[in-house]
């Protein structure tokens, strides 16, 4: 009988890093009200930072900010803003400075995603994802950079492995995330002399996120069977990587892409059923649409 495959444990960052390493620090995060972004904010706050989370859904932000404050014992406030609108992001930054006085860390986690083959993807749908992911990241950088220079702070931009290989039904996301990776690299080179670091955090299949649930429905297989370390990712995995990249031990790490995916990317397993979903996409689109 073959041995059972290893399943990697889920470890909170506080099990390794001191809980006070970010005392006095301030985090500004777009897309921090839910999903991976929320998990990243939680981890940074657990180590002492206060935070501002930004998103379009004011009710979700308020609830998330209240929960994060209770869970971590730190202060989190939600500021509604659309990352596609520079003036709204500048206003959110102004409120952050008014509340806390400075910004040390920025996470760009706001993103848009849905499943669609190129043949069924509208120009507006493609543009919307580019605007949220790419322009939203750029707008956030522009709004926060003067303060990150002052604090000699750090950026983390959330990306994906979709564009490393051709991922069916994800052309819009692939194009957007490739642009984010390039933007981060240029930011690291230009702003390094000012004491600013910029890195990319690239999650693999994180369980429970809306995008992954839809992809798994379209794929119609067990994602765990294609992950070298035996399980879906967890928000704690992304949170721990975030703590590392923002911490002083990463002071010489900039312009890099940290993939947190349990080895998934190296297995080249398509996220949607191939080639069936290419030849007749409707049944798979309907599965994803029901969720």
Q: Cα dist. 44→47, 198, 276 in Å?
A: 5, 16, 42
Which domain covers residue 130, as residue numbers? 19-289
Give mean pLDDT in consecutive 10-residue pieces for the chain, a chain of 291 residues.
85 93 98 95 98 96 97 98 98 98 98 91 97 98 98 98 92 97 98 98 83 60 78 93 98 98 84 82 72 49
Residue 184 within any structural domain of the chain: yes
Is omega for the bond preceding 89 within 30 degrees of 0, making it cis? no
Q: Is 269 contained in some domain? A: yes
Residue 35 has a pLDDT of: 92
Q: How many CB atoms lie within 10 A of CB 80?
A: 17
Amino acid 285: pLDDT: 73
For 7-40, what is each residue's pLDDT tens digit? 899 999 999 999 999 999 999 999 999 999 999 9
Nearest CA among 20, 63, 70 for reference residue 42: 70
The reply to whether 26 falls in a domain is: yes
Does residue 218 form part of some domain? yes
Q: What is the pLDDT of residue 213?
A: 62
Give the separation between CA 74 and CA 256, rounded to whole angstroms: 29
9 located within any domain: no
Cα dist. 159→11, 109, 110, 126, 251 in Å?
A: 22, 8, 10, 17, 21
**Rounded distance, CA 272 to CA 88, Å?**
36
Does residue 204 sit in helix, strand or coil? coil
pTM of the full structure: 0.93
DSSP secondary structure of 226-239: G-TTSS-B-HHHHH
**Residue at 1 is within a domain:** no
User: What's the CATH code of the domain at 63?
Assistant: 3.40.50.720
For residue 217, the model assigns a pLDDT of 58
Q: What residues are annotated to the active site?
A: 159, 177
Q: Is residue 249 part of a domain?
A: yes
Number of domain units in the chain:
1
State the pLDDT at residue 289: 62
Residues in the chain: 291
Q: Does 13 fall in a domain?
A: no
């Amino acid at each position: 009988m073959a041995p059972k495959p290893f399943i990697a444990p889920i470890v909170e960052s506080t099990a390794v890093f001191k809980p006070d390493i970010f005392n006095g620090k301030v985090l500004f995060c777009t897309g921090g009200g839910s999903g991976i972004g929320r998990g990243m904010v939680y981890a940074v706050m657990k180590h002492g930072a206060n935070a501002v989370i930004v998103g379009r859904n004011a009710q979700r932000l308020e609830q998330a900010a209240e929960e994060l404050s209770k869970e971590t014992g730190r202060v989190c406030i939600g500021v509604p803003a659309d990352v596609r609108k520079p003036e709204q992001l500048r206003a959110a930054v102004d409120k952050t400075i008014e509340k806390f006085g400075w910004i040390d860390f920025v996470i760009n986690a706001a993103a848009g995603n849905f499943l669609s083959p190129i043949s069924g993807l509208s120009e507006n749908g493609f543009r919307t994802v580019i605007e949220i992911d790419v322009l939203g990241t750029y707008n956030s950088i522009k709004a926060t950079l003067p303060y990150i220079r002052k604090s000699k702070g750090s950026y983390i931009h959330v990306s994906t492995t979709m564009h490393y290989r051709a991922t069916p039904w994800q052309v819009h996301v692939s194009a957007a995330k490739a642009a984010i990776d390039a933007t981060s690299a240029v930011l690291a080179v230009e702003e390094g002399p000012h004491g600013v670091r910029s890195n990319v955090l690239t999650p693999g299949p994180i369980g429970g996120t809306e995008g992954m649930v839809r992809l798994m429905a379209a794929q119609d297989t067990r994602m765990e069977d294609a992950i070298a370390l035996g399980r879906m990712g967890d928000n704690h995995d992304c949170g721990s990587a975030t703590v590392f990249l923002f911490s002083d031990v990463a002071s010489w790490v900039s312009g890099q892409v940290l993939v947190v995916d349990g080895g998934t990317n190296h297995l080249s397993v398509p996220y949607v059923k191939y080639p069936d979903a290419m030849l007749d996409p409707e049944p798979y689109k309907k599965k994803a649409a029901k969720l």
